[in-house]
Amino acid sequence: MNRLIPVVSDRDIASLYRDTPIGLLLQYHDLQRPFETYNQAQLLIGMCMDHRKHLHIPDNFAYIIRAGGANLRYSEFKVSYAIAVGEVGCITLIGHNHCGMVNLHSKREAFIKGLVENAGWDREWAEQHFIHFAPMFEIGNEVDFVLSEAKRLRLRYPKILIAPLLYRIEDSLLYQLRED
């Protein structure tokens, strides 16, 4: 994971993100900056639905969309709403290590069995559900996916500042990602 850039001081925040809501996010979460009061969201955060992640941010600071793997492909109307109506000018995509959306094929049987036993599904329906949707939600490598999703969204929303970040489960910190 040599593409991770830790934030241990204000100087570590990329110059592109300093003095922006993205810089504030990194200060609040990683550097424990004291909270300010917000009446309107400053940015949109797209992050994984995983239960192991919790952001240290003030109330009303951000719109947050949680989707498996931080995959916003199927949430674009919500993204557009946050930009058009919510007037946010920044998006942060937060992937995390040990993501369940990586190598979904290896979870096929557990997925099918879980739907049958926990939800009362017919096995054939559960199999078809997995076959139909798993390819749409497989993200491959967490870092590569967040970088590619940031690139895709930059093309879609060229006036919006977009930052790909990674949340490490082991230390609960956010890391900037090298994009070279």
pLDDT in tens, 12-34: 999 999 999 999 999 999 999 99
pLDDT at 176 over 70: yes
CA dihedral 150, 171, 180, 147 (to 10 degrees): -20
Token pair 């810089």 in the structure block, residue: 23
* pLDDT over threshold 70, residue 140: yes
CA 43 – CA 38 distance, rounded (Å): 11
Q: Taking the model in full, what pTM does it have?
A: 0.93
Band (1; pLDDT cuts 50, 70, 90): low
Check residue 180 and give its pLDDT: 76
Give the length of the chain: 180
The tally of CA atoms less than 13 A away on the side-chain side of residue 15 is 0
Which tens digits make up the pLDDT trace of 90-138?
999 999 999 889 999 999 999 999 999 999 999 999 999 999 999 999 8
